[in-house]
Structure 1
């Protein structure tokens, strides 16, 4: 993924000035989500489970907390919980097709040879490139044939970047994200026998940017970034991130049927209700048969703040993606994350009286995992409050509501999340599927500024920036009849201690 931005002052420095040291001192930096050692992080790339090891590559600038001259960072894990920084996988060339950055891509197994397919950038040109790796995936060699596609298809295109590559009937197939001016976003389909010589097939699917506007939450944009085609059970999923004129909007997905050279859509859906706070997701199937997904949690504070902090960008928790009973995607953190849980608090069942607020004095912190099972009567609303100061001047509210007609809404209210007027506090919301008795299984994961919410399989991701160190409280309030069947909470252990080398 790329987009044009105004580079903050740190980009003009020749070398990082204590980026990693400043990063670990920032109270907003998550402690159990994956973050780069310092500098800039964006899209997850090259995700794979290779010989029992999970490999997470990511867009990385180790020189500044700015989106500029992107490298490929690399980290490994055996449990999706604790991570080891590996040598930087790809560095922009001094000249050639990736002189100005090694942008987003994927990793495939080419007959036992790990192979990266990525977008190289040179000036305004972004073209597919290939690199092959050592058996341990720790060293990489760029192919002399790069770029392996010399130019985009003919036509007036908005962009041409980001890759999804797979094998089918003895051939390699590839999708590249793009957009057709005056029409909408698209995914161009190519095929190859050797990952180097590619034949253009045509658009797999093209959106209609004239349907709706950029203010809508399901507008498909003028360009599709980070396309990802995969199958779960008998459903084909085409995921993409909607982009327009340099603005990253949100991830969406089509359900439908892939066959031949086309994708026949059945429905368009929101992948995460957090909009740009969960962006450019990528999935892989691990050795356990699970579809595992990461996404990029963008910042909600300004560029000067991130430059001063020495870091920018968070990777989401790894999620298991399944197909729900309604035929839509359901998401949950991988169960391995329970290994970080400490100091359990279990309240058991209790009722929250209409119009009251219960402060949970035994549950406090900025590294929390909270699970609540609720039952909402028609017309009821429950509000779970986190990161609250004792006087309530800062507080973040997760709200689940059941309308009189039985429909549900999940809403995040951030208007009081921070006393800093420069941070984003816009609300986020989406549809909440409910059972006939109004049951909600709600999970809220708090990691300093990173907030991930899961409710009946739907996900809502955001960033919050409390200014006060005593913004640690948790409470619950209700409007109407709400029964809490259980509330379990844990402190979460950190996975990184101290500064990490920017160039491992």
Structure 2
């Protein structure tokens, strides 16, 4: 995820050939016919055993059960709310919505908007599902991704993509030929408004007719979804909508619509993209771009301006020439046969005459260097911080568990040292429990790993500084207890490594492990990113959800299924080094508490977490 003048980046999209990735939305790999009625067949067959899944996260947001994918319209309604007297009043609560299907761990044609809320960005509670498909309506087959904003009168408003299957005869006639894309589903853009006076944001009312019923005429588009709203200007408001799309034979693009009223009058204005983007190494840019977002980037010291006006996802964003913007998209589908998941790509560039100058921008670059983050969304909080959330996919086949997917830890995006920097929101430190283990000076040889001690439970946070020494690679090894005889389909461990020779960060899933010395053969395919010789690292492990952050600004997310810890005397965490010795300083490891405020929200575990005490 380097900008062009930084340290070289080898192909970071190479994936270990034995990994299996979920596919998005209507992929044949994850879709199946909808289940009618209550609990899914798969969950009923599991009985209560699903509650005791040792790999189910407890400090990443996810529903109690069921499928989760894109985070939708995250909103900080503690930002401001415009009352009838036009005074600005805080709600003091964060809201997260997400794509959710109840009763199954596989994708289906009945997507809803799940909902969780928090007063501090740390402790969360589940809320009722916000919106459901309407039988016979234009969203009968699913309420897909979108944005949440505050309308000019202060009303929280959802803008989302409604879909109905082509073969659903209850939804009326098909669109006329000039606007029919010939896809399996008919896509349109819809709106729902929160009931007046509902400060919990749980009662939503859909506008019956779509605000944009069909795509522009006579355009050979590959999709028409995932609206992202920009509220531009004060007084006489102008709203802009960026819509994910693509042109047959040309690839992904973003369409622009404008209006002065959220509920009506949307006019197509053309493409938001000026020029053609460079290809990213061997990677194509996909047939279409899903889940776009656009945010202004600032240096960290200037990253907390006063809010310009009440708003939702991104604030009252005035598109300004000379301002540096980050534009992010999720390309879909991809065409390289050896690539099993879709990356998220971003560009750093400028806007001229309200068009993003992509040809002159810096990019595309990988947003995350792991293999599971997709469809991120971003919003500004009351401090002016850009807070990003993404979908962490599963790497195992669905159907044997009652859940799939979780939301990434909140990441703060800034611009520093000529590049994008990602770091975990500092509020997460309050989930840390007492210090489990620390070390001030570790020498890790290439022939013997050093075990982390006294860490109980499968959710923890580690921070440390790594100095290269004469090693070729160094980092953390996470042991798995799932397979006595590992093979390429079932790796025995995951190593989170800095590859010093190539200035890259990588996650490696080795199939051969020396259990005596806890070393392994690193000569396999790897995912990589860059970094300098001395690095401060933060590693968040939440059962199977793993996120790594470097002081140089890079981030990597993956899933590691370790199973139940066999012994509390061995937490399965080791500092490891290859090709020489590594010097590790200032090591601190904390167990992490749960984010859930209610016992009923917390997944049942054999090892129950405590609430975090904070550092």
Q: TM-score, normalised by structure 1?
A: 0.88
The residue that corresponds to 1:132 in the other structure is 193
Q: Which of 200, 206, 223 matches 2:268?
A: 200
**1:22–1:310 Cα contact (<8 Å) kept:** no
Greater RCO, 1 or 2 (C-alpha within 8 Å, sep 6+): 2
Q: 1:9 to 1:182 in 2, by over 3 A?
A: closer
C-alpha change, 1:66 and 1:499, in structure 2 (3 Å) is farther
Shift of 1:140: 0.7
Where in structure 1 are there 5+ consecutive unaligned residues? 419-425
Q: Which residue of 1 aligns with 2:530?
A: 432
Cα distance per residue 1:20-39 (max 9 Å; x no partner):
95543221110111111111
The reply to whether residue 491 of structure 1 matches residue 584 of structure 2 is: no
- Determine which of 362, 387, 398 is the counterpart of 2:496: 398
1:5 and 2:98 aligned? no
- Residues 1:286 and 2:385 are matched in the alignment: no
Aligned equivalent of 2:37, options 14, 19, 44: 14
* 1:475 matched residue in structure 2: 574
Q: 1:100 is matched with which residue? A: 141
By how many angstroms is 1:380 displaced?
A: 3.4
Gaps of 5+ in 2: 1-23, 78-90, 166-184, 299-322, 487-491, 514-523, 604-615
SS for the counterpart of 1:292 is strand
User: Map of 1:21-420 to 2, 5 A cutoff?
Assistant: 23-50=50-77, 51-68=91-108, 69-111=110-152, 112-123=154-165, 124-134=185-195, 135-136=198-199, 137-169=201-233, 170-195=237-262, 196-205=264-273, 211=279, 216=282, 218-233=283-298, 234-244=323-333, 249-265=342-358, 266-268=361-363, 269-275=365-371, 277-305=372-400, 309-326=401-418, 328-344=419-435, 345-363=437-455, 365-377=457-469, 380-388=472-480, 394-403=492-501, 407-416=502-511
Please report how far the alpha carbon of residue 356 of structure 1 lies from its aligned counterpart in structure 2 after TM superposition.
3.0
When residues 440 and 245 of structure 1 are mapped into structure 2, their CA distance, relative to the original with a 3 A threshold, is closer
Q: Give the whole-Å Cα distance in 2 for the aligned partners of 1:417 and 1:278.
A: 27
Structure 2 residue aligned with 1:422: none
Q: Is the 8 A contact 1:187 1:206 kept in 2?
A: no
Counterpart-to-counterpart distance in 2, 1:25 and 1:72: 26
Partners of 1:100 and 1:389 lie apart in 2 by 40
1:393-421 Cα deviation digits (max 9, x unpaired): 73221111222xxx511010123499xxx
Structure 1 stretch 342-351 or stretch 115-124: which is displaced more?
Answer: 342-351
Given the superposition, is the C-alpha separation of residues 282 and 346 from structure 1 closer, same or farther in structure 2, using an over 3 Å criterion?
A: same
**Count of equivalent residues:** 481
**In structure 1, C-alpha distance between the alignment counterparts of 2:600 and 2:511, rounded to whole Å:** 32
Which residue matches 1:423?
A: none
Q: 1:179-227, CA deviations, whole angstroms, 9 ceiling, x for partnerless residues?
A: 10100100101111112211111111278699478xx3x5321110000
Compared CA separation, residues 350 and 105, structure 1 to 2 (3 A): same
Quick check: which has more Rg, 1 or 2?
Answer: 2
Q: 2:310 corresponds to which residue?
A: none
User: 2: CA distance between counterparts of 1:466 and 1:62?
Assistant: 26
| Alignment partner, residue 452 of structure 1 | 547
Aligned 8 A contact 2:453 2:571 in 1? no
Q: Is the 8 A contact 1:411 1:427 kept in 2?
A: no
In structure 2, relative to structure 1, the CA distance for the partners of 1:379 and 1:47 (3 Å cut) is same
Distance in structure 1 (CA, Å) of the matches to 2:378 and 2:280: 28
Contact 1:47 1:282 in 2 (8 A): yes
Q: Deviations over 1:145-171 (max 9, x none)?
A: 324343345311111100110112331
User: What is the deviation of 1:128?
Assistant: 0.5
Contact 2:187 2:214 in 1 (8 A): no
Q: Distance in 2 between matches of 1:212 and 1:288?
A: 34
Deviates further, 408-417 or 43-52: 408-417
Instruction: Indicate the RMSD between aligned Cα atoms, in angstroms.
Output: 2.8
Residue aligned with 1:451, SS: strand
2:115 match: secondary structure? strand
Q: Distance in 2 between matches of 1:454 and 1:417?
A: 26
